[in-house]
Amino acid sequence: MAKQRTVFVCGGCGYESPKWAGKCPECGAWNSFAEEIVEKTAAKRSAARGGGIEPTALSDVSTTVGRRLSTGLSELDRVLGGGMVPGSVILLGGDPGIGKSTLLLQALSACAGAQGRVPVLYVSGEESAAQIRLRGERLDALSPDVLLFCETSLEAILEQVRRTKPALLAVDSIQTLASEALTSIPGSVSQVREAAGRLTRLAKEEGVTVWLVGHLTKEGSLAGPKILEHLVDTVAYFEGDRGTPYRILRAVKNRFGSTNEIGVFEMKAGGLFPVENPSALFLTERPEKAPGSVVTGAIEGTRPLLAEIQALVAGTRLGTPRRTSIGVDSLRTQLLAAVLEKRGGVTLSDQDIFVNAAGGLTISEPAADLAIVAAMASSVFSKAVDPLAVIFGEVGLAGEVRAVSQAEARIGEGFRMGFKRFWIPKGSLERLDKSQVPREAQLEGIEHVGQLLDRLV
């Protein structure tokens, strides 16, 4: 027997409440609750009553995940941990218009073409078949093995998958699907969850690799991909400014690979192209010898990457000076400004501070701390940092510089890109595996931000 009840669901995080509330107690979003009718059916108990699957000894479990399928795009394979695992579910999220459908169509047609007639089912609930064909022509991705299915009914899609038995299923987007079993509108939390849940079960049962596209949404009017993160195997988000041609795809969750792995792409007339040497890309427009510009060695997933940190410190006209950052955590910038003021003796209380990771990159590692401090100090003193120096290290509240992981890889990448000097935490220098570092690299161990300032002035 189906029983109906009304609940209020937060579009941001999926929190359910029996009452409407202005602010979500779970994720803190305002005005995010929408009314939904949920139907409860008596739970199926057949498996629980016996006749279900028997447990297996952990030591007897087979570890073969099946051969990974390449997507034909090296940067995408890297984000997935070396290609797609059969039977896995991959969520591809990002702002509308950033390039999700483009990436998907390129990857699908490469798979269909290269892997010996692998049938691929591309379900679109957003665009017409003609629109997708036009995109396919632009991308030179018209494979006869990509079957197009413009449909939004979940039941019809599941039926089609059972019939065509594709190795790969792509759903663009999950927010357009609706199950006939639910009365709520497409894009609501319950519909999105239901569709993702049933497609995930299908992936596991039939060994189909499933791609789900999810638009990031503001205001919570549509349920965003965040509420599906726990359900799927891999979550990758597109980052990047739509004003620039560069796109960064970042794995924020991956059951089959490392997280925070990034893939860098350039959007051209013929689609998305992998950028083979991202360090070069992020440094191309660097103003050498300009105060406030510092190069740091970051680790993104398993890959070392050079990035430019820029700071501008200028006298404020406001009572409370501004601390603004793009691409680095703003709380971290405030903290580092306070450390520079208190431990480095640099007056900043009457200065606005702007910090930016150039090229649309987002850096969340504390290893960039020392570069941020150096950029701020360089701007204050109007003195350029040595253009051949790479700076990294975590900075503590006492102004101490703490060791960071994988110093060898950071130095190696810097050296490969033509940098000569490396200002690194003293702790990292002491622990360094010298055989992994080019002999010509000039290394300087830094213990305290004061020592960094001595090198700048």
Residue 98: name its binding partner from Mg ion, ligand TYD, none (Cβ under 5 to 8 Å by kind). ligand TYD
Token code pair at residue 411: 């130095």
Nearer to ligand TYD, 141 or 227 (CB): 141
CB of 271 to Mg ion, least distance (A): 13
From residue 339, alpha-carbon distances to 81, 242, 333 in Å are 38, 35, 10
For Mg ion, give the closer residue by CB, 103 or 337.
103
Shortest separation between residue 267's beta carbon and Mg ion, angstroms: 13
Measure the CA angle with vertex 382, ends 377 and 384; round to 5°: 80
Kind of pairing between the strands at 421-425 and 89-94: unpaired
CB of residue 249 to ligand TYD, shortest distance in Å = 11
Distance CA 334, CA 231 (A): 35
Q: Which entry of Mg ion, ligand TYD, none binds 139, CB below 5 to 8 A by partner kind?
A: ligand TYD
Identify which of residues 108 and 404 has a Cβ nearer to Mg ion in the complex: 108
Pick what 270 binds: ligand TYD, Mg ion, none; C-beta below 5 to 8 Å, kind-dependent.
Answer: ligand TYD
For strand 442-446 and strand 351-357, is the pairing parallel, antiparallel, or unpaired? unpaired
Nearest distance, CB of residue 101 and Mg ion, angstroms = 3
Nearer residue to ligand TYD within complex by CB, 126 or 444: 126
The Cα-based distances of 194 to 4, 86, 167, 197 in angstroms read 16, 22, 22, 5
Contacts made by residues 161-166, CB under 8 angstroms, sequence distance 24+: 161/121, 161/202, 161/206, 161/208, 162/206, 164/119, 164/121, 165/119, 165/206, 166/118, 166/119, 166/120, 166/121, 166/208
Q: How many CB atoms lie within 10 A of CB 205?
A: 10
Minimum Å gap between C-beta 209 and ligand TYD is 19
Nearest approach, Cβ of residue 51 and ligand TYD (Å): 44
**In this structure, how many other beta carbons lie within 10 angstroms of the beta carbon of residue 125?**
20
From the list ligand TYD, Mg ion, none, pick the one residue 87 interacts with, judged by a Cβ distance below 5 to 8 Å according to partner type: none
In this structure, the dihedral spanned by the alpha carbons of residues 72, 75, 81 and 84, taken in order and rounded to 10 degrees, is: -30
The residue ranges that bind ligand TYD (CB under 6 A) are 94, 96-102, 135, 138-139, 267, 269-271
**Which CB sits closer to ligand TYD, 136 or 304?**
136
- The Cα–Cα gap between 242 and 95 comes to 9
Q: Which does 345 bind (CB under 5 to 8 A by kind): ligand TYD, Mg ion, none?
A: none
Among Mg ion, ligand TYD, none, the one that 204 touches (CB under a kind-dependent 5 to 8 A) is: none
Beta carbon nearer to ligand TYD, 96 or 287: 96
Q: Which CB atom, from 72 or from 271, has the smaller least distance to ligand TYD?
A: 271
Nearest to ligand TYD of 360, 427 (CB atom): 360
- Residue 135 near which of ligand TYD, Mg ion, none (CB within 5-8 Å, type-dependent): ligand TYD
From the list ligand TYD, Mg ion, none, which binds 267 (C-beta under 5 to 8 Å, kind-based)?
A: ligand TYD
First and final C-alpha spacing in the chain: 77
When the beta carbons of 135 and 402 are compared against Mg ion, the nearer one is 135
Left if phi > 0, otherwise alpha if psi is -120 to 50, otherwise beta: which for 401? beta
Written as six digits, the tokens of 400 are 């101490």
Q: Which does 102 bind (CB under 5 to 8 A by kind): ligand TYD, Mg ion, none?
A: ligand TYD
Q: How far is the CB of 112 from ligand TYD (least distance, A)?
A: 18
State the nearest-atom distance from the C-beta of 135 to ligand TYD, in Å.
Answer: 5
Return d(Cα 302, Cα 258) in angstroms, integer.
7
Q: Which residues bind Mg ion (CB under 5 A)?
A: 101
Minimum Å gap between C-beta 110 and ligand TYD is: 15
